[in-house]
Structure 1
Amino acid sequence: MTATDPNETFRQEARELLESLEQSLLDLDQNPEDRDLVDTAFRALHTLKGSGAMFGFDEVADFVHDFETAFDQVRKGKADIGPKLISIALAAKDHVTKLIAEPGVHAAGGAPILGELRSIVATGKNAAPKDVAAVAEPTPLAEGMQSWRIRFRLPDDALMLGTNPALLLAELRELGDCIVTALSDDVPLLEEIDVEVCYLHWDVVLNTTRGQDAIEDVFIFLRDGMDLNIELIEAPPVGVNGDAVAPALSADAPSGASKIKQGGRKPGSSEQASSSLRVPAERLDELMDRVGELVIAQARLLQIASVSDDGSLKAVAEEIERLASGLRDTTMGIRMVPIGTLFGRFRRLVHDLSSELGKDIEFLTSGEETELDKTVIERLADPLVHVIRNSVDHGLEDPVRRAAAGKPVRGRVKLAAVHKGAEVAISITDDGAGLDVERIRAKAEEVGLVAPDAKVADHDLFQLIFHPGFSTAKEVTSVSGRGVGMDVVKRTIDALRGSIDVVSTRGEGTTVTLRLPLTLAIIDGMLVRVGNSRYTIPLSAVEECVELPNAVSSGGKGRNFLNIRGSLIPFLRLRELFKTQAPADLHQKVVIVSAGEHRVGLVVDQILGNNQTVIKSLSKLHSDVETFSGATILGDGTVALILDVVHLVRFGQNFEERLRNMHSGRAA
C-alpha cells in the first residue's frame, strides 16, 4: 500500500476550504449584511493559513495571512461589502489556488491583488482601523460584548513542531481587548530544562463580541494533546478605576465552563468527527468492480442451484443472493453524491459572466440534494458549463432589450435537478429571447442538414444546435459562438447513456433538460428473449407488460399502435429490428417502456424474469451502435446485450410521426 502524500492531503483539504470561501463570498455578494457569512469566510482563510504553514506551503500561508489581515477589517465592520470587494476577494482566492497548484511559480502575482484589496478596504466606512494589538489594557464592556476566561496549556512537543505561542496570543487580541497572564508554576530548574518542551501555560481574560467558536478556532490546529478551558464570565469584575481586571484563579472551573482536554473536542463531538471517512475514489471504483464480479458469480451459483436437488445448496444460494444484493445497494449508496457539490461551482461562473457581459443575472438552483453516481457527476461539469454559458450569452438579452420587451432588467437562469424513476433530469432554464426557429432552419439548410422543402418539427430543429460546428450566432465572443460547446455536450451525454431535450418559446425563454441514468455500474434488469437471443431492459424504464393482441400479432396490416387504457402507444417489433430468423412464439409479449414523457412498446417473444445486471461497456468497434448501451454476463456465462431505452423510445416516436405524416399525405 502506498503511503499517503502529505502535500496531496493538504491540496485536497485546501480545495474544500477554497470552495467554502468562494461560496461564502458569492453569498455575501447577495447578502452583504450577513455577519455569519463573513465569519465563515474568515474561518476558511484562518484554517487555510494554518494548514499551509503546517504542510510547508509558505507562499500560501504568507499570502493568506495578508488576505486575512485585510479581510479582518470587514469582519470588524470597518469596511463595507460591495461588488468591488467581492470581485477582488474572488481574485485573491483564485491566486491561492494557483499557489497551491504550482508552488514557486505565481508568488509575484499576489502583490497587485493584495494592494487593490487593501485599497478597497482602506476606503471603507472606517478608513483608520484601530490597532487592536496595541491595546495594553482592556476597556469596560460595551454593549453586545462578553467577557471570557481562556486557560490553555500547549502540548509538550508544541515548540518542536513549530507552534509560536506569541502568535496564538496575538490572534486572541484580534478578537478583542484582553489581559494575558503567563503562568510559570511548572518551569523546572535551569539544569533540568529541555529547550524543546513548552513549560508555560496561560490565563487570558478576553472582552469580545465574538462567540466561543471564534475562540476555539484560534487553537484549531493544536487541540490534540492540549488542555483548553474556556469560561464565560457572567459579570466581569471592575477595578477602582473602572477597568476590567482578571479574576482570581480557581482550581476548578465553574459548571458553566467549556472544558476541552486531551483531544480538544467538546463532549460528544468525537462521534461527529468519526462519522465520515475520506476514501480515495479509485478504491471505491475497485470496490464496485469487485461487487460486480460477485453479482455475476452469485447469478452463476443461483443458476446451478436451480437445477440441483440439494436443498442445502439452494438455501446457501438464496442467502448469498440476499447478501450480494445488500452489498450492492450499500456500495452503490457510497458512490452516490449530492449534485449540489457540482451546482456550487456554477455560481462563480454566472457571477463572472454577469460582469463580463454587463448583464444583471439572478442564478437560482434547486434539487441540490438529488444524488447521482460520482462517475456521472465528474463528467457532467463541462456539459453544464457549456449550456449555462450559452443561456447567459445567447439566451438572456441585455438590459436595454429586456426593458424594451417589458421584462425585468435582471435576467434569470435556473439550474434544477429532480429524480424521475431511475434517472435524474437536470434542467437549465432561462427567461431570455428563446431559440429562433427560422434562423436555425436557415442555417441548417445552408450547411445541408435539412432539405429546403422538408417538413421538420421544431423539436427536431432544436436538436440541430448540438451538431458539430453548428451556430446561429452573428458574432463570435469570448464566451461562445463557434459552435463547438454544444457538440461537446451531446457527445458527453450520449457517452453517459443519457438524452437531451430542448423546449423553447420565442420571447419567453429556453429549457435544456439533460436526462441521465442514476448509475453506470449495476442496475436491475428485465431479461427477455427475442428469437434465440436474450436481451436486458433496464427495469427502471419498464412501466408494464401486456400480451400482444392476436389482431396485430401476425403483422398488424399497418397497425403499429396499442390502445392501453385509452392511450395510443406505438410499438416496435424487436424481431424485425434485429432481423431475427427463428420462428416467433405463438403468444408474444409487449414491454411498455418510457423515457421522459414518451412511451413505446417493445414486442418480445418471452419475458424470462428480473435480475441484477452488471453493465459492461461495449468495445470501441461497437461504440456507434445506438440500439445497445452495453452488455452483461448472465448466470450461465453467456452474454446479453442491454437495450438503450432512450434510443428505442426516440426511434419509436419518429416512427410514429412518419406514419402519421404518411397517413395525412394519403388523406390529402
Structure 2
Amino acid sequence: MNLEQAMQSFLLESAELLQEMESILLEAEADSITAEQLGALFRCMHTIKGSAGLFGLDDIVHFSHQAENLLDQLRDGKLQLDAELSGLLLRSHDHVKAQLAALEAGQPLPAGEAAAIEAEMAQRLQAEPPPSASTDETHPPLPSSDWLLTLRFGPDVLRNGMDPASFIRYLATLGEIKTIASRSSSLPADEHFDPERNYLRLELQFYGAVDAEQLDGVFAFASEGSQFIISPRTQLEQHLAQALSLGDAAEQQCSRQLWQQWGLLPEPQPAGETAATTPDEPPCTAEPLVPTAMANPPADSEGKTTRSSESRFIKVEAGKLDSLINLVGELVIAGAATSLLARRHGNGPLLESTAVLSGLIEQIRDQSLAMRMVPIGETFSRFGRVVHDVSRALGKEIRLQVSGADTELDKSMVDKLADPLTHLVRNAIDHGIEDVAQRRAAGKPDAGHLWLDAYHDSGSVVIEVADDGGGLSRQRILDKARQRGMLHGDSPLAEQDVFRLIFEAGFSTAAQVSNLSGRGVGLDVVKQNIEQLRGTVEVESEEGLGTTFRLRLPLTLAIIDGFLVTVGSATFVLPLDSVVECMALPEAALATAAMGRFSLRGEVLPLLNLRRFLELDGQPGHRQNVVVIQTGDCKVGLVVDALNGEFQTVIKPLSPLFRQLKAISGSTILGNGEVALILDVLALTQHARAQEHMLYLDGQEAASLLPDHWQHHNDGQTGKTS
C-alpha cells in the first residue's frame, strides 16, 4: 500500500466514525444515552485525532483534540448531554466532516466555524461544576510521570502503509520524549536483506500526563504483528524482564548495553548471562533517533496473510463497473443468438455446449449485477440529521424510525433517489406533521413520527415514506383542482385519482407555504424522477391520521429475467418477477373477457387485451392465452396470442421520441436480431384498474377518470367493451 492508499483508508474510516458519532447523538435525543454510547463517542473523536496525527494534519488534530476533551468530560459524568451540548457536538462533527471532505478534494482545510465552536467548547469546559469528592477519587487529575516504552514494530508495518516515525511524532504531542534509540542487532546482510521489511526496534523514555490507555492508543493502528511494552518508570524491573523475553541472546545483550548507558541498569551484568552471544553475531548498535517527516512507504507486495482484512474489499471506479455491465449485456445477447442457432441445427453436442454456456453467462450476469447492488440504508441514514435540523428549526418534536435499511438496490438508482426522498421527508416534517399544539388538540402525542421503510415485493423494491400527521384533505384537493380548471363538473373520482392531482406542477393545498416545502409543491418533480427510473408513486392518506408515499422501483436498470409473449407479428417482454401464471383462455370465458374481466378460480381479475390496447393489426388466432401479472396486491390478466417462455433481457433505453409511451418501458434485442419491446407492468396494471372502474360509470364521465395519456387507448376500446 502506498501513501495515497493509506490516506484513502484514513478518510474512509473517519467517515464511518463520524457517521457512528452522528447516529449516537441523534439516538440520544430520542432516548437516554448509555455509558457504552458515551465511550463510543469519545473513541470516535479520539481515533480520528490519532489517525490525523499520523499524517501530520495539525488542524484536524487540534480541533478534534478540543472536541475530545469535551467528550471526555461527558464520559466522566462531569457534563450532562442536553439539547444544546448535542447541537454543539453535531456542529463539531460537521466541521471535521468538512475538513475531511476538503482533504479528499485536495483543497485547503476550511476554517468555517472552528473558532466559534472552540469558543463554545471552552466555555462549556470552564463552566463545568467542580467535581465532588467521590469524583476526585474516581477520576483524579493525571499527574506527569515517567514511562518506558519498548517498541517492536511488525515486519509488515511499511507494507501496510505506515511509517513508525509518524507514531513517534504523534507521541511527542502528548508529552516529552526524553531519550530514544534504535536497535539493529538482527539486521541481515547481502541477499537476505528485504528492503520492504521493517527491522526497526525502538527504546524510549517518555514523560507526560498520560495513562497507559492513552499510550496504548497511540500505537493501536500498528498493533498487527507488532509487540509493544509500555510501563511506568516505577515498574522498571518488570518492564526489563518483559522486554528481554522478546528477543534472542544478541538482542538481550544489545538492550542491556543501552539500558546501562541510560542508567537503568547501574552495574554491568555478569558475563555468564551473555554467554550465548557468539563472536559471529552482528554487533549491537543503539543510535539516537530523531523523528522526521513521514516518508513514502515502499510499494506493497502480494501474498501477505496479515492483510486479510484489506484484501476482502477492492475499490473500483463506478465507470469501470458500468462498462462491465454493458459488456455482460452484449454477452447475454450473443449467447441467446448462439443458443438459437444451435436449436435450428439440432446438433446434440452443440446444444449441450450452448446450454452450459448459457448457465455460465447467467451466473456472470447475476454476479456482475450483485456488484452494483448496495443497501439503501446509506441513503436512509442521511435523513436522521435532516429530521433533527428541520424539526428543530420548526419547533416540532419528530421521531424518525427506519426499517429495511439492508434492502439492496442498484447503485445508480440509489444515487438518484436522494433528492425525491429528501423532498418527501421535508414535506412530511413541514406540512404533514402538526405542531405540538395541534397534535394535543387532536388527542395525539406531542412527538410526531416519520417512518422510512424499504422491502422487496413482486420483483420490485418498495420504499415508503409515512407520517402520522394531518393527512391529505380530499375535499381541499378537489376544490383546489376545480379552481385551477383541472376538473369540470361534479363527476365522482376514485381516491387514487384524487391523490394523483397533487403531482401536477405547482399544485398545493397548503394554506401557508414555507421556505422549506409545501404539501404538493414540487411533487411533480418527485414523480418525474421516479418515472425516469421506471417506477411509480402511490399515495395513501387518511385525513387526521397521516400519509404514506409509496415508491415502487425495479431492482435494476440493466438486465432482467424476461418472459416472451407474441401478439400478432410483434414480440413483447414482461419482467418475469411480475408474472404469476399463464393459461389458455377457455371458450367459456370469452364473453366475460370481452367485458374486461376474467374469473380465475373464483377470483375476478381485470383483463386487458393487448391487441386492442396497442391497436395491432391482424386477427387473433384460434387459441388465446392469458398471462396473469401482479403489482403489489393487484393482479391483472393480459390476453396474448402465444407464450414463448423465459428470456434473459438486456434493457435498452427508448429513443427520446418514444419516452412518453406509458405502456413501454424499454426495448431489447432477441437472439435472431429482432427488437422486442418491454412492457411496463405498472402502467398496464394502472390502466386495467382504471378500465375496470369505468364499467360502473357512464360514457363521458368514465372517460374523465383516465389520465390524458390513456384517452386515445380508451377511445379505441370503449366501444368494443360497453
Q: TM-score, normalized by length of structure 1?
A: 0.83
Pick closer, same or farther for the CA change 1:360–1:535 going to 2, 3 Å: same
Contact 1:526 1:537 in 2 (8 A): yes
| Partner-residue secondary structure (3-state), 2:384 | helix
Pick closer, same or farther for the CA change 1:8–1:182 going to 2, 3 Å: closer
2:69 equivalent in structure 1: 69
Contact 2:54 2:170 in 1 (8 A): no
Tell me if 1:167 matches 2:170.
yes
Q: CA deviation at 1:608?
A: 0.6
Q: CA deviation at 1:299?
A: 0.7
Tell me if 1:80 matches 2:80.
yes
| Residue 451 (structure 1) aligned to one of 484, 488, 493 | 488
| Residue 564 (structure 2) aligned to one of 521, 527, 535 | 527
Cα distance in structure 2, aligned partners of 1:301 and 1:514: 39
1:303 equivalent in structure 2: 340
| Partner-residue secondary structure (3-state), 1:441 | helix
| Residue 681 (structure 2) aligned to one of 645, 649, 664 | 645
- In structure 2, give the amino acid aligned to 1:480: S
| Residue 143 (structure 2) aligned to one of 118, 135, 158 | 135
Q: CA deviation at 1:246?
A: 5.9
Cα distance in structure 2, aligned partners of 1:284 and 1:112: 44
Contact 1:151 1:202 in 2 (8 A): yes
Contact 2:144 2:208 in 1 (8 A): no
Tell me if 1:376 matches 2:413.
yes
1:559 equivalent in structure 2: 595
2:297 equivalent in structure 1: none
- In structure 1, give the amino acid aligned to 2:421: L
Give 5+ residue unaligned stretches, structure 2: 186-197, 247-299, 703-722
Cα distance in structure 2, aligned partners of 1:428 and 1:405: 22
1:44 equivalent in structure 2: 44
2:697 equivalent in structure 1: 661
1:614 equivalent in structure 2: 650
Cα distance in structure 1, aligned partners of 2:216 and 2:339: 57
Q: CA deviation at 1:423?
A: 0.9
2:202 equivalent in structure 1: 200
1:343 equivalent in structure 2: 380
Q: CA deviation at 1:639?
A: 1.0
Cα distance in structure 2, aligned partners of 1:427 and 1:9: 34
Cα distance in structure 2, aligned partners of 1:513 and 1:401: 26
1:505 equivalent in structure 2: 542
2:151 equivalent in structure 1: 152
1:104 equivalent in structure 2: 108
Q: CA deviation at 1:20?
A: 2.8
Pick closer, same or farther for the CA change 1:57–1:205 going to 2, 3 Å: closer
State percent identity of aligned pairs: 36
- In structure 2, give the amino acid aligned to 1:70: L
Cα distance in structure 2, aligned partners of 1:479 and 1:359: 14
Equivalent residues, number: 620
- In structure 2, give the amino acid aligned to 1:249: A
2:18 equivalent in structure 1: 18
| Higher-Rg member (1/2) | 2
- In structure 2, give the amino acid aligned to 1:119: Q
Contact 2:426 2:517 in 1 (8 A): yes
Q: Deviations over 1:318-343 (max 9, x none)?
A: 11101111111112222221221221
Cα distance in structure 1, aligned partners of 2:525 and 2:5: 34
Pick closer, same or farther for the CA change 1:159–1:658 going to 2, 3 Å: closer
Cα distance in structure 2, aligned partners of 1:646 and 1:401: 38
- In structure 2, give the amino acid aligned to 1:598: C
Moved more, 642-651 or 104-113: 104-113
| Residue 549 (structure 1) aligned to one of 561, 581, 586 | 586
Q: CA deviation at 1:167?
A: 3.3
Q: CA deviation at 1:474?
A: 1.3
1:249 equivalent in structure 2: 241
Pick closer, same or farther for the CA change 1:220–1:465 going to 2, 3 Å: farther
Pick closer, same or farther for the CA change 1:619–1:209 going to 2, 3 Å: farther
Give 5+ residue unaligned stretches, structure 1: 139-147, 174-178, 189-195, 254-262
Cα distance in structure 1, aligned partners of 2:632 and 2:9: 42
Contact 2:537 2:549 in 1 (8 A): yes
Tell me if 1:228 matches 2:221.
no
Tell me if 1:117 matches 2:121.
yes
Q: Deviations over 1:502-527 (max 9, x none)?
A: 11111111111111111111111000
Cα distance in structure 1, aligned partners of 2:701 and 2:223: 81
Q: CA deviation at 1:604?
A: 0.6
Q: CA deviation at 1:104?
A: 3.5
- In structure 1, give the amino acid aligned to 2:82: G
Q: CA deviation at 1:117?
A: 2.6
1:29 equivalent in structure 2: 29
| Residue 633 (structure 2) aligned to one of 588, 592, 597 | 597
Tell me if 1:473 matches 2:510.
yes
Cα distance in structure 1, aligned partners of 2:584 and 2:475: 45
Moved more, 115-124 or 627-636: 115-124
Contact 1:187 1:200 in 2 (8 A): no
Cα distance in structure 2, aligned partners of 1:360 and 1:135: 45
